[in-house]
Amino acid sequence: MLEPFDMERTLVRHCIVILAALTSLIAPAALIRADIAPPEQAPGSNIQPEGTTRVQMAAERVTIEVLRVKGTRNTGLPVANVVAMFTMRNTGNAPEKMTVRFPLSDPSGQGDGLGGHPEIEQVTVTVNGKRAPTRVITTPNPRGESEPPIRWAAFDVTFPADGEVAISVQYTLRSTGYPPYGRFKYILETGAGWYGPIGLASLVLKLPYEANAENVVLGQSTPGGTFVGDEVRWTFKDIEPDEQDNFYVTVLAPIVWERILEARRRTEAMPKSAAAWRELAQAYLSAIFGKYRPEIGENFIPLIEEAYRRAQENAPTSAQLHAEWAQVLLNLYPPLFNLDPAIAEKILAALKAAFERDPSNPLAQKVLSDMRDWLTQLAQSSGAEAETAKEQLEQLDRIARETGADRFAATPTIVPPPGLATATPTPPTTPEAAIVTVPGTPVAEPSPTAEAMTPAPTPFVSSSIVTSTTEAGAVITATTVSPATTTLTATGTADIVAVAPSTATEASATTIITTPGAIAPATGTVSEATAVAEATPPTPTAGATPAAQEAAATAPSAAQGTLPAIWLALLLTYIVGGAATYGIHSLMIRCDRERAAQHAEGQEQTVEQAPDSTTDQPSADL
């Protein structure tokens, strides 16, 4: 049974956990834009001699083989298997027996930069083709005695006079960086302790597919790499390496690149599919990283634009596709200090095209609101940027007026006093065919019988334009639509799954899954389902009273206000329950102590009344 002090600590700990959970629920979701450096993983390294030697590293070949990593929803960082093969030559006239060591962590002692010291995993050493036993030794940390010592995998080798020894070290290497890009590091300078220069150093990055400038970032790698099939190769001769010679290479995560390859194959097989081109645009988007501007993968932006253009051609009535392209640009180039005129022109053109097709499109309305907020703040500053922002704001407002989008702009919900009726604007009743994606809505998971999900990487930009895609090509989005009947309509360029609104006025949450190449249950012959119709706001019934319209208009606000109250009630219930539990346990402890005291007193009385065993004899009956 817990003591009162232990129960108090347990109750406090539980309260802290609940508060932390509530804080995480109300905290805004973070984009992949980090302001601090990622933790450094342990680098690969050359082997090092124990001391002064006449043994030279005549040649080395280091192969960094990137592994396929699947089965995870996020992109993850690349992982590789490293095989480092060294040809060692004893240039002296006498054999040398020494302890050779390989650093398990960063030999500089820096660690991951956050106080940790990650180590190399699964180290295997062979000498002349035979497995060599290893042991762990330590050396002082170069950064001072306050830092943990450096750990090394050590093994004994005998180098015959004027002879060669082949040493191989194999291990798993993790990359450093922000998804979807990882940087592999290899420390060459630890090989400077051997006699003379390194005769020939060959470093090879091997991928599970063809290597090219899209999946290997040569601009953020050691210069001199050349593409040869599925490899990138670097060669150095007669080097005495120091810190400046250490090797690094930046690669795109295989899970992201293979998603791009699959999306490209799908567009080749179905060039008239709007959904296939849209998925390709999304795949390209997941290969871009940046903090406030694209830093890696900017070469994919023109490809994203082309993919959206092809999708728009195959779904000409879709407002959503134009709205998505506008949001992509606004998130890739947020106007923190100014909005580049070329980018602004493309965003305005995309918004205009979206509003011309559907002025009430939710995503286009969100982009309109966000862009207005940005430009309004910039216009309140001074200088040329402020004047440019004012001009761009005027163009944005003109587009909203001319297309009628201002009629559907989001406004605060005002609850009138009892007895007053409010007029509810009637939205258009004719829906248009488009692809539906509600910004900020979590991705819907497939049913247990659906195909296994291909991991959908989270891109640099807002998650509102991210969808999930199955290996069969199913684009999964979530939206709220009016009760409708799904029908298929064959068109000259694409097959559109249209949503026909019914007369009902209540909205229902619906998860829509579109699969390129699939046939929806309907009459008629179609080649593929490529898009789904946009949700149209429910039209009030003609006979509805003002009070009913008011209730319908304020229902979402009431639902949204219920969530904080529910969490507060749960928190209060947990606290009260904990306090009650504490009180009950305290009472039980006091009762136990009283019973123990009474029991002890009874034993003392029994001892006092017990007969003397030396004089009194037990009765015959006993």
Domain for residue 239, yes or no? Answer: yes
**233 lies in the same domain as 260:** no
Residue 10: what pLDDT?
43
Kindly state the average pLDDT of the residues 40-66: 92
Domain for residue 519, yes or no? Answer: no
Kindly state the average pLDDT of the residues 47-61: 94
Answer whether residue 338 shows pLDDT above 70: yes
Examine the fold and report which residue of 408, 430, 451 is the final residue of a domain before the chain moves on: 408
Residue 349 burial by Cβ neighbours in a 10 Å radius (0-12, 13-18, 19+): middle
Q: Which of 107-111, 144-148, 580-584 has the highest mean pLDDT?
A: 144-148
Domain for residue 339, yes or no? Answer: yes
**163 lies in the same domain as 237:** yes
**125 lies in the same domain as 215:** yes
Domain for residue 477, yes or no? Answer: no
For CA atoms 494, 497, 502, 506, the dihedral sign is negative
Domain for residue 576, yes or no? Answer: no
587 or 70: which leads in pLDDT: 587
Q: What are the respective helix, strand and coil percentages of the chain, to the nearest 5?
A: 35, 25, 40
Question: What domain range includes position 278?
Answer: 256-408
Domain for residue 370, yes or no? Answer: yes
Residue 120: what pLDDT?
86
Kindly state the average pLDDT of the residues 543-561: 43
Q: How confident is the model at residue 569 (pLDDT cuts 50, 70, 90)?
A: confident
- CA angle (18, 24, 30) in 5-degree steps: 170
438 or 113: which leads in pLDDT: 113
SS3 43: coil
Examine the fold and report which residue of 408, 427, 461 is the final residue of a domain before the chain moves on: 408
Q: Which of 317-326, 412-421, 595-604 has the highest mean pLDDT?
A: 317-326
61: tokens are 């070949």
Residue 230: what pLDDT?
97
Q: Which of 5-19, 100-114, 169-183, 402-416 has the highest mean pLDDT?
A: 169-183
**208 lies in the same domain as 275:** no
**191 lies in the same domain as 55:** yes
Answer whether residue 518 shows pLDDT above 80: no
Q: How confident is the model at residue 260 (pLDDT cuts 50, 70, 90)?
A: very high
Give the residue carrying structure tokens 């943990």. Answer: 148
Nearest partner of 413 among 559, 307, 297, judged by Cα: 559
**279 lies in the same domain as 188:** no
Report DSSP letters for 185-248, one per residue.
EEE-GGGGGSSS-EEEEEEEEE-SS---TTTEEGGGS-TT-EEETTEEEEEEEEE---GGG-EE
Q: What does the DSSP 8-state code read for residue 604?
A: H
Spatial separation of the C-alpha atoms in residues 178 and 289, rounded to whole Å: 8
Model confidence pLDDT, tens digit, residues 87-99: 999 999 999 999 9
Answer whether residue 383 shows pLDDT above 70: yes
**261 lies in the same domain as 217:** no
622 or 303: which leads in pLDDT: 303
Examine the fold and report which residue of 222, 237, 252 is the final residue of a domain before the chain moves on: 252
Q: How confident is the model at residue 36 (pLDDT cuts 50, 70, 90)?
A: low
Q: How confident is the model at residue 241 (pLDDT cuts 50, 70, 90)?
A: very high
Q: Domain tally for the chain?
A: 2
Q: Residue 101 maps to which CATH number?
A: 2.60.40.3680
Answer whether residue 460 shows pLDDT above 80: no
Kindly state the average pLDDT of the residues 322-351: 93
Model confidence pLDDT, tens digit, residues 496-514: 333 333 333 333 332 333 3
Q: What is the rounded average pLDDT for all residues in the chain?
A: 72
Spatial separation of the C-alpha atoms in residues 153 and 588, rounded to whole Å: 57
Spatial separation of the C-alpha atoms in residues 359 and 365, rounded to whole Å: 8
Answer whether residue 489 shows pLDDT above 70: no
Domain for residue 280, yes or no? Answer: yes
Tell me the percentage of the chain whose pLDDT exceeds 70: 60
Spatial separation of the C-alpha atoms in residues 372 and 398, rounded to whole Å: 12
Q: What does the DSSP 8-state code read for residue 609?
A: H
Q: How confident is the model at residue 113 (pLDDT cuts 50, 70, 90)?
A: low
> Which amino acid does the sequence have at 340?
D
Residue 563: what pLDDT?
58
**276 lies in the same domain as 261:** yes
Spatial separation of the C-alpha atoms in residues 289 and 458, rounded to whole Å: 10
Q: How confident is the model at residue 37 (pLDDT cuts 50, 70, 90)?
A: low
Q: How confident is the model at residue 611 (pLDDT cuts 50, 70, 90)?
A: very low
**77 lies in the same domain as 221:** yes
144 or 65: which leads in pLDDT: 65
**202 lies in the same domain as 142:** yes
Residue 265: what pLDDT?
97
Q: Residue 7: left if φ>0, alpha if ψ -120 to 50, beta else—which one?
A: alpha
Spatial separation of the C-alpha atoms in residues 302 and 310, rounded to whole Å: 12
Separation in Å, CA 30 to CA 71, 109, 141, 292, 463: 23, 32, 36, 13, 10
Domain for residue 404, yes or no? Answer: yes
Kindly state the average pLDDT of the residues 319-341: 93
**126 lies in the same domain as 168:** yes
Q: Residue 342 maps to which CATH number?
A: 1.25.40.10
Report DSSP letters for 323-387, one per residue.
HHHHHHHHHHS--SS---HHHHHHHHHHHHHHHHH-TT-HHHHHHHHHHHHHHHHHHTS-SHHHH
Residue 337: what pLDDT?
80
**What's the predicted TM-score (pTM) here?**
0.62
Count CA within 13 A, CB hemisphere, residue 196: 16
**242 lies in the same domain as 113:** yes
